[in-house]
Amino acid sequence: MAEQPKPKQEQSRSWVAILGEAQLQNAEAQVAAGKYVADVVGEVISGAGTAVVEDYTFGIMSKEYASKHPKARKTGEVIGHCLTTVTGAVETAGAVTEGISGAVVTATGVGAPVGVLAIAESVLEGSTGGSGNVYRSIQ
C-alpha cells in the first residue's frame, strides 16, 4: 500500500509570540500612516510655496506639477494665494497710512521734502501691494 501524506499540523504558538506579532504589525501600520501624513503635509507646503512664487512673479515662474495628493496640493495653493492676498492688503493699508502721514508732513511746509518722498514711496508700495491682488483677480 502507498503511504498516505500526513496532514500538516500547525505548531502551537505561545501567547507572547502572538502578542509580539500583533504589536509589530501595529508599529508597521503606524509607520505607514506617518509616511502618508508626511507626504500630504509636504504637498500642502509645496503647493503654498508654489502659489506664493506664482503670485509674486505674476505667473512668470508658474509650473504644473504631477502630485500624488492633488487635493492636498490644491489646498496648499489656496493657502498660498490667501497669504499673498493678505500680504498685499497689508502693504496697501501701510501705503495709505504712509501717504496720509506724508501729506500731513508736507502740509506743515517745513517737512515738505520728507513728506513728498513719503508720498512717492507710498505710491510705489501701494502699487506692489495692489498689483498682486489685481493679478490674482484677473486669473
The domain total for the chain is 1
Q: What is the pLDDT of residue 120?
A: 82
Enter the C-alpha cell of residue 35: 509616511
pLDDT at position 8 is 67
Say how far apart CA 23 and CA 15 lie, in whole Å: 12
User: What pLDDT does 76 receive?
Assistant: 92
Give domain status of residue 118, yes or no: yes
Mean pLDDT over 100-128 rounds to 80
Q: Which of 98-102, 105-109, 129-133 has the lowest mean pLDDT?
A: 129-133
pLDDT of residue 125: 75
Residue 27 lies in a domain: yes
Average pLDDT rounded to a whole number, residues 69-73: 90
Domain membership of residue 4 (yes or no) is no
Classify residue 2: in a domain, yes or no.
Answer: no
* Residue 23 pLDDT greater than 90, yes or no: no
**Angle at the Cα of 73 (from 139 to 63), degrees rounded to 5?**
50
Confidence band for 104, pLDDT divided at 50, 70 and 90: confident
User: Is 73 part of any domain?
Assistant: yes
98-118 as b/e, with b when 16 or more CB fall inside 10 Å?
bbeebeebbeeeeeeeebeeb
Does the residue 25 lie in any domain?
yes
Whether the CB-CB separation of 73 and 40 falls below 8 Å is answered with no
Mean pLDDT of the chain: 80
d(CA 94, CA 87): 10
Please report, in angstroms and rounded to a whole number, the separation of the first and last CA atoms in the chain.
86
DSSP 60: T
Is 8 a domain residue? no
Query: Which is more confidently placed, 126 or 34?
Result: 34
Domain annotation covers residue 6: no
What residue numbers bound the domain in which 68 lies?
A: 15-138
